[in-house]
Amino acid sequence: MRLLPAALCLSLLGACTASTPKTPGPGDPKPEDTGTVPSTTTTPVVPPPTLTAICTLDEVNALRARCTVEIDPPGPVQVAFQNADGLGGTRTHVSEESLASHEVGLYFMTAESEIGWTASPVSFPEVSVSGTVVTGAVPADATLAVLSSGVSTADAFLMLSPCGGGMPMVVDTSGAVLWYEEISERKIESLVLTEDDTLMIEGGVEVFHFTWMGEELYRVVPGPETLHHDLFRKDGLNYALFKERLPLHGREYDLDGFYIFDDTGAVLYDWHLIDHIVPPDDPDLGDGNVVIDYSHSNGLFVDDDGDVFLSIRHLSTVLKINGDLADPDLGEVIWTLVGDPDEADVISDFTLSSSSGFSADFRRQHNAHLLSDGRLALFDNRVGETARASILTLDPAAGVANIDQTWDTQYSCSFQGSIWATQTGNPVAHCAPSRAAQEFDLGGGASPTYSLTLSCQGGLSTYIPRAIPLSLY
């Protein structure tokens, strides 16, 4: 019988009996492994959310706007904004919660300017809504006369207005007002920026904690004593300097202390200078029943261990104090740094030297605090000389302290002042009575690389206690 060809077998029968596959031998080529597994699922395509947004000028503040952003499905949103003419940088404020409706505040904007804004989902920035808002004129207490020169590594400065009661405000490096907050309290002495990017002020007895959008976080009276000069916030705790009037040596003395309190105003600890330093019965301090302003502390700073640095102006002294609420030695003085032995009735724990080219001392200082590199910065007001900005290295174990760097401000600065670092580390020295801020190059150079002096355009100018450099972008 004749066999059908294989092709005919396929044609007529649709299939032929398959032969048994040959098992590959040792010398045979291996079948190709493609390394792929057929996919049985597909990634769903997520449709972009829908978005609506509107921004309007704040009803009570000419340099703030409030944006309402609706998103479906709910998710985080962001609003970017800048001057419509393209000048200046772009800020982006984010509302991070997965909500269907968001309220986003805009601030740090120039007066009487058209501001362009764009709202979008954080996860889908290509889906956006845009518009503009026009800012208004600043109030009289924020109307300034400005002198500026050079280039700053800061974007702006937080300070109190030189007009009237000391309105909190932010100005850019040209002196243009970017932010202000109208406060009804009497003249403000203390204005600080916290680690939470919030603000604290005090006006005598009450501490007011609020946001850049003016939202009140708390108002508390932490104790019966008069508050003055400085505040601080660290790890959810609040610190405030106070002075108390005490009878001593047949006279009355104003001595200092500080409160540690929570956000309800409950005092967790109060420290009193009189428990550690007792003023001498010295006729040179005053005769009769004159109130003696013996210590006049002016600066608070709290480090990462919770220890408190207290600057005492009239003693030209800085104390480091145990601030650990759980430590049995809470309140004990860890060390004492004296800048001028002739000004103090206490013994220093350090031998003070200077490699800065200036004298190995400081007098009537303000704003003593630690920099990010662990060194101590202070504004050295001095007496009968021009003020200095100084940075010191301390070695408590060895009992030595060295003034590493000093810059002469060329200003006589008899009271108040500050030294803060910009984001690049450059020191900004500010003399309160002259209302002059100067930035110096941390790497060297005796002359300022930038200066800013503000006055009240509409009347008598008061002093500005401090100028805090800000990074806005």
- What is the predicted pLDDT for the residue at 40? 60
The SS3 call for residue 38 is coil
Ranking 83-97, 314-328, 370-384, 389-403 by mean pLDDT, the lowest is 83-97
Buried b (16+ CB within 10 A) or exposed e, 117-145: bbbbbeebeeeebeeebebeebbebbbbe
Say which residues have a Cβ less than 8 Å from residue 451's Cβ, sequence separation at least 6.
147, 148, 149, 150, 436, 437, 438, 439
Q: Is the pLDDT of residue 9 over 60?
A: no
Rounded CA-CA distance 188/437 in Å is 19
- What is the predicted pLDDT for the residue at 17? 37
Rounded CA-CA distance 177/64 in Å is 12
Average of per-residue pLDDT values in the chain: 90
Buried b (16+ CB within 10 A) or exposed e, 226-245: ebbbbbbbbeebbbbbbbbe
Indicate the pLDDT class of residue 282, thresholds 50, 70 and 90.
confident
The SS3 call for residue 279 is coil
- What is the predicted pLDDT for the residue at 39? 55
Q: Is the pLDDT of residue 178 over 90?
A: yes
* CATH 2.120.10.30 is the classification of domain 140-470: yes
- What is the predicted pLDDT for the residue at 45? 78
Please state the domain extents for the chain.
50-134, 140-470
- DSSP letter, residue 401: E
- Higher-confidence residue: 167 or 10? 167
- DSSP letter, residue 111: T
Q: Which helix (H) or strand (E) holds 79?
A: strand 65-83
Rounded CA-CA distance 460/257 in Å is 33
Place of tokens 């428990």: 275
Token readout for 119 is 């709202």
Q: Which helix (H) or strand (E) holds 13?
A: helix 6-13
Rounded CA-CA distance 236/471 in Å is 23
> Average pLDDT in the 62-75 region?
98
Q: What DSSP string runs through 326-343?
A: TSTTTT-EEEEEES-GGG
- What is the predicted pLDDT for the residue at 442? 96
Say if residues 450 and 467 touch (Cβ distance below 8 Å): no
- What is the predicted pLDDT for the residue at 12? 29
- What is the predicted pLDDT for the residue at 342? 85
List pLDDT tens digits, range 71-129. Answer: 999 999 999 999 988 778 999 999 999 999 999 999 999 999 999 999 999 999 999 99
CA end-to-end span of the chain:
94
Say if residues 207 and 200 touch (Cβ distance below 8 Å): yes
**φ, ψ dihedrals at 425, nearest 5°:** 100, -5
Rounded CA-CA distance 73/54 in Å is 18
CATH of domain 50-134: 2.60.40.380
> Average pLDDT in the 160-171 region?
91
Place of tokens 């800013």: 452
Indicate the pLDDT class of residue 289, thresholds 50, 70 and 90.
confident
Say if residues 406 and 390 touch (Cβ distance below 8 Å): yes
**φ, ψ dihedrals at 157, nearest 5°:** -135, 135
Rounded CA-CA distance 409/417 in Å is 11
> Average pLDDT in the 172-192 region?
89
Say if residues 257 and 244 touch (Cβ distance below 8 Å): yes
- What is the predicted pLDDT for the residue at 3? 36
- What is the predicted pLDDT for the residue at 117? 97
List pLDDT tens digits, range 295-346. Answer: 999 999 999 999 999 999 999 999 999 999 999 999 999 999 999 988 888 9
pTM beyond 0.75, yes or no: yes
